């Protein structure tokens, strides 16, 4: 692949505006280029979403307990 594409190396990203790679910019949308991906910021959370996330945290703690219990029971029955 890199032999067919002058200006590119196996290392990966190379800053270039070479005409040989201009077609890539035309074909891909800006966010599809590995070197020009914009970073999303944190989402502003509403009160409802915050409550939902706390409910998820409680759920996770509860399920960790459940899974631990399942592991304990399984080990106990195997033993």
Closest distance to other proteins from the beta carbon of 51 (Å): 12
Question: If 0-12 CB within 10 Å is exposed, 13-18 middle and 19+ buried, where does residue 17 land?
Answer: exposed
CB-based contact 6:20 (threshold 8 Å): yes
Residue among 6, 51, 58, 66 that touches other proteins (CB under 8 A): 66
CB-based contact 36:25 (threshold 8 Å): no
Interface residues with other proteins (CB under 8 A)?
A: 1-2, 5, 7-8, 10-17, 21, 23-25, 27-43, 49, 52-53, 56, 59-60, 63-64, 66-67, 69-71, 73-75, 78
């Amino acid at each position: 692949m890199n032999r067919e594409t002058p200006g590119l190396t196996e290392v990966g990203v190379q800053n270039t505006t070479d005409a040989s790679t201009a077609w890539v910019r035309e074909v891909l949308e800006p966010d599809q280029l590995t070197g020009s991906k914009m970073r999303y910021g944190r989402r502003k959370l509403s009160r409802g979403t915050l409550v939902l996330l706390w409910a998820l945290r409680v759920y996770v703690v509860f399920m960790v307990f459940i899974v631990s219990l399942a592991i304990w029971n399984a080990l106990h029955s195997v033993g």
